[in-house]
Amino acid sequence: MFNKVLIANRGEIARRVIRTCKRLNIHTVAIYSEADVDSLHVKDADEAYCVGKPPVAQSYLNIDRILEIAKESGAEAVHPGYGLLSENVNFAKRCTEAGLVFIGPSAEVIASMGSKLEARKTMKAAGVPIVEGVEAPVKDVAEATEIAERLGYPIMLKASAGGGGIGMQLVDNAEELAKAFEGNQKRAQSFFGDGTMYMERFIANPHHVEVQIIADHQGNIVPLFERECSIQRRNQKVVEEAPSPFISQETRDKMLEASVKAVRHIGYVNAGTIEYLVDKDQNFYFLEMNTRLQVEHPVTEEITKLDLVEEQLKIAAKLPLSFTRESIAKDGHAIEVRIYAENPSTFFPSPGTITVLELPTGEGVRHECGVETGSAVTPFYDPMISKLVVWGETREIACERLIQALKAYKVEGIQTNIPMLLKTVTHEQFLKGNTTTKFVEQYYLPQLAETK
Interval 429-440: pLDDT, tens = 999 999 999 999
CATH match of 131-199 with 3.30.1490.20: yes
d(CA 229, CA 276): 10
- When pLDDT is averaged across residues 8-30 and rounded to a whole number, the result is 98
The confidence band for 448, taking pLDDT boundaries of 50, 70 and 90, is: confident
The CATH 3.30.470.20 portion of the chain extends over 205-448
Say what the pLDDT of residue 284 is: 97
Task: Provide the mean pLDDT of the chain.
Answer: 95
User: In this structure, are strands 155-159 and 236-242 parallel, antiparallel, or unpaired?
Assistant: unpaired
Q: Specify the DSSP class assigned to residue 440.
A: I
- Where in the chain are all domains bearing CATH 3.40.50.20? 2-102
At the topology level of CATH, where does 2-102 sit?
Rossmann fold (3.40.50)
* Residue 192 confidence (pLDDT): 81
CA 28 to chain centre: 23
CA 297 to centroid of chain Cα atoms: 8
- Vertex 10 angle, CA 186 and 308, to 5°: 100
pLDDT at position 99, please?
A: 97
Return residue ranges of the chain for CATH 3.30.1490.20.
Answer: 131-199
β-strands 410-412, 356-358 pairing? antiparallel
Active site residue 401: no
Q: What is the pLDDT of residues 46-78, one digit of tens each?
A: 999 999 999 999 999 999 999 999 999 999 999
**Cβ atoms of residues 294 and 273 within 8 Å:** yes
pLDDT of 449 above 80: no
CB of 81 closer than 8 Å to CB of 7:
yes
CATH architecture type of domain 205-448 = 2-Layer Sandwich (3.30)
Measured CA to CA, the distance from residue 153 to residue 137 in angstroms comes to 19
| Dihedral sign for Cα atoms in the order 179, 184, 187, 189 | negative
Q: What is the pLDDT of residues 374-423, one digit of tens each?
A: 999 999 999 999 999 999 999 999 999 999 999 999 999 999 999 999 99
Given a cut of 60, whether residue 176 has pLDDT beyond it is yes
Exactly one of 10, 15, 120, 292 is catalytic; which is it? 292
- SS3 state of residue 113: helix
